Structure formats: structure tokens, C-alpha cells
A and B are shown apart, each in its own frame.
Chain A
């Protein structure tokens, strides 16, 4: 019987991480930004039907970058998890913290156990009753979970976008301005700005809604809102 070559765990993990990072770097970034009346998620997405941003529960939304089939499975699993919990207990008992932890554990387990890691990075965000109660969790391909405030970025160009937002983010922005800021930050992710702007996918968690707070903004609505700020400034 052939004895398998010894490869150090260090090497295995490094290789897996590099593999996952490469996969994720191909995808465009997604930003989540807290604004005065809630939270917004924005992605560049040429497809109108293959979404990167989705509703999970009353106050909770999800965004994923990387391999579509993989984050789509995570998204569905999250919806099942939330709906089951809400059905078995109550709607208030579905918390973002426990969902994000479950994601972290699942993704982490796959990273260590499976030969191929997930090539995904996800955001799980919740709009709180007050801005201080907003929650944003970033779970990366190895299951590392990070708590974010004000804004969160995932995807290949995350570093550059994060730098832009650190410089330009302001608290309590009205929706239109937060949209414009998010779009500018996504553009800042490019080394050279693209000739043609990609279609945007926008999901909102609006504090003022009753029940399910998620709202998917159409391309036209987002464009109209942002045009209004350009004229104003």
C-alpha cells in the first residue's frame, strides 16, 4: 500500500486559504452601510435574477461574494435555520448573532475538514430598533467571524473600498446620500474606473417598516434616489 506523502497542517491550511482567496478575488465587492433609517447593502451585479443580496428574516439580511452556488446554499440554509427557529419558538428569538455563529461554525468546519474550502465571504446584518442596536457580521472563507460597525465590505476589492469608506463615511446619512456614498465606494475599488458602470443590486433593511423590514430596491429607484443627491450638491 502506498503511504501518502506527509504534508504539514500549516501547508494545507495555507494552500486552502490561498485557493479560497483566489476564488473570492474574482468576484466584485459588496458593501453594507448603516444610514439614518436602517442599513443598506449594495453590490455590482449584472444579473437581475441571480441575487447576491437577500432577505433572511424580519430584521436580517444576507450578502455573499465568491462562488454563486456556494453562497446560494448558505443563504438557503440560513433562511431554513431562521424560519425553523421562528416557527418553533417565536419571531423575536431569531437573532443575527446565533445565525452568524452558525454560519461561522459551518464554514469553518468545511474549511478544516473538506479537501476544498468554500470560496465565499458573507455578511449577515441586522437592523436594530435603534441605530445602536444594528449588527453586522462578516464571516470569511475559513469561518472567521468579525463584528463590524458603520460599514462592512466583502469581496476582492475590499481593502480599497474599506479605505475609501473610512475616509468618507458619516453617521446618520439620509438614504439617498448613503446610496451615493456606497456607489462611489464600489467605484473606488477599481484600479482604473470602468468605462461603463455595472448594474447595481440594492437591498435595504428599513427600520420604519412593520414585520419584514427587507426591501429590494429596483435599479430605477436607486438611480432616481442618487440622481436627486447629485442635483442637490
Chain B
């Protein structure tokens, strides 16, 4: 049949690829590259890595932010990479790890959400989305053992519970809900300690944005893989927010003054 030759007949795009078009999966081709596995360090130097991303809950929902640097060993491979993406109308996904597989998995996840919606006529529940993502991360495990780690953070607004929710993952596809905040990537630990210190329950949007930026600036301060706001080139972290009204981009115009204030504070 010219229209569709596959055998899969469900609502999941990811499963459709697994059954009928495995060559289009992001990770399948990474499973058989033993020569690269010989040295994880060499792989880390050969492949760009996306670094710090974070999320925190606030009064209206969740704020998600990521710096803009991709790092290849000790080199900056990109200053403008984006790691935070809208997954669908009510959820946002961000990833740290090997940039190629990360971006491919984000794309696959976006199509998965949309595909399910179109086939079934309904959107998945937030838990359903989070679980689907866990299965995708699990598929990447063989590649993760070779150093091509992919670690997402997934946040969304749960329309049923009327609140924002944060999910973190491990390389085995383990899915854990965080109630306040989370950060991952090479600067994740540093960002988490800032978040931990200043996080308050039900913060305003402004306070949450400022804290997200501060955590990124602190991460960039210590971690060479993470960049802070680049005032010279005008490159700012990507920040998105999800509330009961859906996903919103936080514009550079809003991020710029906050960044300038933070950097002025660093100058003492």
C-alpha cells in the first residue's frame, strides 16, 4: 500500500517507529558502536553535550530554564543551542546530555504527543506523558552506557490536579516526581544548591524567574560547561513557563534586565 505499509495499529508514534521504522529511532543506530565505547572520555570530546537545565514550581505553575552552551570536551561547540522545548500545549521538556540524541528525543517526544492527540482525539494525561518519556529514555540505555547519556526534565500543568508538576529521570528510565525544583546536567548540582537555598513555596512569577536565572548564573560560575547570560553577544537563557493557560515563552526582553541585575551583583 502506498499510504502506509506498517503493521502497527496503535496511537503511539514511538511504538510505530519501533515496530515498522526502527531506522528512524534516535538511538537504535547507537547500539552497535563498540569501537566508540572503548573510551568514554574520547566520546565526550567528540560529541557536543548540552549542559545545565532546571525547573522550579511557582504559584501559577512551573518555570523551566536552560543555558545556551553546548560543550565538546574543553571546547564550546555552540553558544546558542536550545535545550528547553514546548512539548505540547501544557508541557515543556528540557534535556541534558549528548546533544544529538537529546534533540532527536525531544523531537520524537513532541511528535508522540501530537500523534496521540490526533489519532485518539484526546490528549494524554500528564502522568501518561511522563511515563511515555520514561520508556523512551529507557530505550537509550545501551547508548548511555557508551557515554551518550540523555537525561530529561519534564514539567507540565496537570489540568486535573490544577497544579504544575516536575518529573526527573535517570538513565535507566526511572521517573521521579519532584515537588519543588530540580536541576540536572554538568552544572546541575550547583544550580540545585542555589535553588535549595532560596526556593519558597508559591513564589510569584517574577521571583521564580529571578531565582531560575540566579541558579543558572551560579552554575555557570563554577561549571565550565555552562554559560551564563552573554550580555556582549546578547544571548540569554531559554526560559519557558507553563500555567493553567498553557506554555509561554519568557522573552529576552524580560530576561535581559534580570540578567543585568544579577551580573551587577556579581561585580559587587
Binding site for B on A (CB under 8 A): 49, 51, 54-56, 74, 76-81, 83-84, 86-88, 101-103, 105-106, 109, 212
Contact B114 A103 (CB under 8 A): no
Contact A78 B3 (CB under 8 A): yes
Residues of chain A contacted by B9 (CB below 8 angstroms):
76
Contact B107 A87 (CB under 8 A): yes
A84-B21, A86-B111, A87-B111 known; A77+B118 contact, CB < 8 A: no
Residues of chain A contacted by B21 (CB below 8 angstroms):
84
Contact A79 B118 (CB under 8 A): yes
Contact B3 A106 (CB under 8 A): yes
CB distance from B168 to the nearest CB of A (A): 26
Q: By the criterion of a CB under 8 Å from any partner CB, how many residues of chain B are at the interface?
A: 18
Q: List 8 A-B contacts (CB under 8 A).
A: A54-B118, A74-B3, A76-B9, A87-B13, A102-B2, A105-B1, A105-B3, A106-B4
Known: A77-B3, A83-B13. 4 other contacts (CB 8 A): A54-B121, A79-B115, A84-B24, A105-B2
Contact partner of B114 (CB less than 8 A), chosen from A84, A109, A212, is: A212
A87-B24, A87-B107 known; A103+B3 contact, CB < 8 A: yes
Q: Which residue of A lies closest to B121 (CB)?
A: A51
Q: Which residue of B lies closest to A77 (CB)?
A: B4
Q: Is B250 an interface residue (CB 8 A)?
A: no
Contact A109 B1 (CB under 8 A): yes
Contact partner of A88 (CB less than 8 A), chosen from B3, B4, B24, B115, is: B24
Q: Is B119 an interface residue (CB 8 A)?
A: yes
Contact A55 B3 (CB under 8 A): no
Contact A76 B121 (CB under 8 A): no
